[in-house]
Structure 1
């Protein structure tokens, strides 16, 4: 008997009508129908998004005209102000720019720039789709995928913001410029406006700054160098150091290889120029940086870079930068240093005697004043205030802190007489017997501090740690920072600005606030884009810090620094004199002192190397002499109008006294004295290659202190000639 046929049609049909007239799904039906329906709706969605995107781009295209190409660019001068926000410190201007026509620019320069920045420039529409995708994916980061046309558009019309909207506007304007403006005109405009470094915009100014010639005279190698610099001007200037020169060579070689690929250079030509950069003439200093303010401006520019501002924005972004420098205090620092240098030099050459002064607002860490030790940045660009020098007995303070941390009493008795130390070498004493730690500090007795360092647990390393905790950069292995029992005698090299910062930590009862020179930054529209808010870190226990301050006040009252006692404010501080016994010369002389409000460091050095004999100017040249006098003269002006504030009272209670380590031998003692005397050295110091008051933020307890790194520089008699460093000498 035959099987009945299914109602509604043939076997295998996809479905049948239900009583209500709808199709009933057949579970045996293949999935192709469902897939097609999904694909259909996906396609509809994509088309809808495409229409919306096209509409949005159309609106963006219509609503984005090509702006005035020069309106903002030529007026975007960056202004630097003193702490009051009104008194001008200086100006960083884009006016170091000279326009030249396309025909005047050498073909080698045109080819090199295209090869370095955009090899497809002559054929692309002004944008690079793949480059844009890379740039969008890396928004907020360095780098990007901009064509030469896009870079030109960004320089002239747009901000430096790394946002998607800015990138889209850049793309639209670049496409319009690519359609409406001849390629030759775009390239000429780019070469006349792009930033090359050294404050120069455009190839004409850059050619004169880097090679001392007009752009029309550039040869092949010089053209390639300038094209290579555009990639990162501040990081590729060979005048800034060996690393920068090496990085420039790498970019220079990249540009050469690109020229070869473009057919603009043969392999034979490449071989002749590939391995080395061309010669650079001596740098001509920008007259805008003339006088003593030039050193401050350079320091501000360096800090702005560390805060993330690029060279183009710093030099031509129309910023308004309020610094921490107080105009009146700056004048006082310059006057005090120049007065005392002239007095010390007498009839000798005062230009070879350098007195640096750094003054810090203890509450904020802002540098109130800085005298670089030279009078004119253009003629003498070296800044001694940020250059590490041998600290002499100012380093005793950190051995004192190390001792207090270990519970040592200020009444602890130490050897003040001459004896043979644990390192087997004699140490000259200044008394006939034992002295207290307080007296050893007050009168800066070297023998007692060598004895103390020997008795402390890890005395040398703990002294270094105390300095580091206070905010002084430096570690074992650096110039003079060797871990030995004579560390307190001051072989360690520290910049005056860092020495002031370290002592400021003691004035703040152990709270460290990193020094800085930028208070606030506004963009060209007056919007505040940066406000200094340095972290306050509890670096040294308050009990220890106040005990150290209490001890150091005696230095200013009755000790080696007693000349500053006439300030009529509570003062604590320390003298320091570094004597090279083998070469028989005093190479560094200090006074670092503080009131509750202000800490100031003064350092004297001599000669182009900063390592010549100060005794040419005055026998001994002790820290209690001209350095302390300079400190006093400055602080008498700086403290005017400020209330008398007492230091926080010390409640330090000693907990232990290290056991006395017998001396190997005892030799004849010296007569007691209350003045600083030159000290023996384990190594002659050599040059290291280195406000407005606001409510302070909360203190952050910390056992490790992050310190600011001081600029590294090498003393030179001229901008391009390095002075030889003296040979280290050992103590006999």
Structure 2
């Protein structure tokens, strides 16, 4: 009962008054703090701002919708050609296609592609107002936070952007796209919009529209597209450079994942059953499709490299092929012409002399500017259209050219050019087979300098085994210089002998590292890109890094100079330039599978590789010069190199290499590793072996590991050219270097290669 003097009884804290003054639990009132007061005020301000923002947005949409006019179609986009130039920015190398488009009516388009593209790109297409508000808000939020504007587009918006606008990533363009899409959705039927979209969108391979795409990918008319084929095209259209399997094998997994997404979406929308989606899971077959003749001839390889590099730099396929760009490459017109002429001249000469088909012999040339990484010239084959394999970017066994990395690793590890190694047949510690030199020449103890000049296999195996974890150090040196690890990079004592596979382009660039005093610069083929208005939108900016010390690089160069002056590379001395390089000839069983000459001046590094057969693994000996025992790197590869470099270096100032640093010259001389063997030394370091192969004094021929670089064939004609005490193999019997031995021109070179395994 209430007390009349006190009024109604107040409920206790935590209680709420009920009937008859009873109480029920309740939350106690908390006094308002300053923080809560400010929070309330801020909430009111935000609510007011949101209301004002909504009003503003409504006004913008109303004004935008009523004022925006449909512009004329992008005639420039439909016909704009991207031009590609040599490094002078004026001489045209080629172009990327004027749009390949063959319009179809909506009725002519199969249901398979209509359904696949809607399932892949815009499931709400048939019901939406032509725009995606959620996507627009997401894009606006991203750019407001400093990110790149992206995504959020319906099929209608994509169609508007391509046909009427551009690809600029700005809010202004995005809102104009929004207004136009909404308006056109009111003016055109969904069928008309989808027809226009499928006739306009870029599918890659120079194909704009579904008819051109069907031909480009499957060589069929669009009306015959199967569901799997349509699903592939619907997947590819999202980003042709990332999903087209013809661009790179790396695209296949990405395409497969996207393709499965399209099939699943089609099933979820009821276009196909889930059983059919599972049945269609494997990618359909991609037939051989005739390539656009724009890529015909040797230049096709260059254009494809440009496309790939720009794609990796973030350009989409539509920009590259139809954006009206001006692309300045790194290729030098004069050098490129010389590369084509040199490769084709010596390929034909070799094939004709041997009575073989020139189409079965493949010469590859890659030439890089020292210090910039700019690819000056590249010969990947005679005709990209007929055979798209680029031999200049195809990795093959490097043979003795890999010894250069062992040399660098040894110098870094504490050895010097004067360190002594085993020049005789021997069995490395822990191995079960012996290693020998070509025709089992026995050199005795040799310096690392001489081992490099004469390409002595045993000495480099000795060097590798004397280093702790030597094989790994050799491979690490190669990778640091710019040779990417690949097939044949075997972790064993014979790694320096060249089972490791590297492409000519990577070899040229890795050798350029030593010419550049030990600093690696990535190779690239695009120098600059301008848009249709002439604005520079891309400039190459390769990031250099230190691979080896300057002193090690100088000593490597000095040793490789000796290869040219006194060793297996003396064929190229006719250029009368400071040249450092290395020969290489690789055998597998009884076949010579690759022959190399990689060398550089102070300004240009160039690699030449010869391989044979469709896969580049056939026997090169079928193409050897008459009178030669085998197809050596010091023959046609060196001659090809010299013919190219004579033109490429014409007009350049003659620059000498720095003097050697003689790293580790004060360290105590090491001793060569010897293991019991029946073969006894027959030579000393100062006495160059006779050019006539002599079997070692043993009743049992030494065995050899399958990874040994030197060929095992006996010569069909023994070389009789003489040799000087300095090791010049190009002698006439008294070492005067005129290159004419009794066995014919070049036999002295041949003998040196045989002796050293070069």
1:103 to 101, 107, 112: 107
Q: Distance in 2 between matches of 1:616 and 1:37?
A: 91
Counterpart of 1:191 in structure 2 is: 198
Name stretches of at least 5 consecutive residues in structure 1 with no aligned partner: 4-27, 686-732
Secondary structure of 2:75's aligned partner: coil
Contact kept in structure 2, 1:560 and 1:674, CA below 8 Å: no
Contact kept in structure 1, 2:421 and 2:673, CA below 8 Å: no
Out of 206-215 and 127-136, give the one that drifted further: 127-136
Q: Can you list the C-alpha shifts for 1:254-306, whole angstroms capped at 9, x where unaligned?
A: 333333443433456556x4333333322321211110000000111110011
Q: Distance in 2 between matches of 1:37 and 1:304?
A: 53
Counterpart of 1:626 in structure 2 is: 636
1:384-463 matches, within 5 Å, as 384-422=391-429, 423-429=431-437, 430-463=441-474
1:339-354 matches, within 5 Å, as 339-346=345-352, 347-354=355-362
How far residue 105 of structure 1 moved from its aligned partner, in angstroms, is 1.3
Q: Can you list the C-alpha shifts for 1:666-715, whole angstroms capped at 9, x where unaligned?
A: 414466448899x9663499xxxxxxxxxxxxxxxxxxxxxxxxxxxxxx
Q: Can you list the C-alpha shifts for 1:140-198, whole angstroms capped at 9, x where unaligned?
A: 55962211101111212333233333322221221122122222221111000111122
Q: Distance in 1 between matches of 2:193 and 2:130?
A: 10
Secondary structure of 2:474's aligned partner: helix
Secondary structure of 1:427's aligned partner: coil
Q: Can you list the C-alpha shifts for 1:302-357, whole angstroms capped at 9, x where unaligned?
A: 10011111112111122111000001100000100111111111231111111100
Name stretches of at least 5 consecutive residues in structure 2 with no aligned partner: 6-30, 694-702, 710-758
Counterpart of 1:616 in structure 2 is: 622
How far residue 239 of structure 1 moved from its aligned partner, in angstroms, is 4.2
CA pair 254-40 structure 1, distance change in 2 beyond 3 A: closer
Counterpart of 1:358 in structure 2 is: 366
Counterpart of 1:719 in structure 2 is: none
Counterpart of 1:324 in structure 2 is: 330
1:269-280 matches, within 5 Å, as 269-270=276-277, 273-280=279-286
Contact kept in structure 2, 1:514 and 1:534, CA below 8 Å: yes
Out of 652-661 and 179-188, give the one that drifted further: 652-661
Q: Distance in 2 between matches of 1:676 and 1:649?
A: 35
Contact kept in structure 2, 1:391 and 1:578, CA below 8 Å: yes
Contact kept in structure 2, 1:519 and 1:532, CA below 8 Å: yes
Tell me the TM-score normalized by structure 1. Answer: 0.84
Q: Distance in 1 between matches of 2:33 and 2:631?
A: 102
Contact kept in structure 2, 1:553 and 1:572, CA below 8 Å: yes
Contact kept in structure 2, 1:591 and 1:603, CA below 8 Å: yes
2:321 to 309, 315, 332: 315
Q: Distance in 2 between matches of 1:154 and 1:68?
A: 12
1:65 to 48, 55, 69: 69
Secondary structure of 1:587's aligned partner: strand
Q: Can you list the C-alpha shifts for 1:468-519, whole angstroms capped at 9, x where unaligned?
A: 1111111xxx422112111111111111101111110111111111110000
Counterpart of 2:11 in structure 1 is: none
Contact kept in structure 2, 1:210 and 1:283, CA below 8 Å: yes
Q: Distance in 2 between matches of 1:674 and 1:436?
A: 19
Contact kept in structure 1, 2:448 and 2:459, CA below 8 Å: yes
Contact kept in structure 2, 1:105 and 1:215, CA below 8 Å: yes
Out of 543-552 and 231-240, give the one that drifted further: 231-240
Secondary structure of 1:222's aligned partner: helix
Counterpart of 1:502 in structure 2 is: 510
How far residue 444 of structure 1 moved from its aligned partner, in angstroms, is 0.8
Q: Distance in 1 between matches of 2:544 and 2:237?
A: 39
Counterpart of 2:182 in structure 1 is: 175
Q: Distance in 2 between matches of 1:435 and 1:334?
A: 40
CA pair 42-133 structure 1, distance change in 2 beyond 3 A: closer
Q: Distance in 1 between matches of 2:317 and 2:195?
A: 22
Contact kept in structure 1, 2:139 and 2:149, CA below 8 Å: no
Aligned length: 653
Counterpart of 1:78 in structure 2 is: 82
Counterpart of 2:154 in structure 1 is: 147
1:597 to 565, 583, 603: 603
Query: Quick check: 1:116 aligned with 2:128?
Result: no
Q: Distance in 2 between matches of 1:196 and 1:621?
A: 46
Q: Distance in 2 between matches of 1:461 and 1:159?
A: 51
Secondary structure of 1:519's aligned partner: strand
How far residue 651 of structure 1 moved from its aligned partner, in angstroms, is 2.6
Q: Distance in 2 between matches of 1:267 and 1:435?
A: 72
Tell me the TM-score normalized by structure 2. Answer: 0.81
1:212 to 191, 207, 219: 219
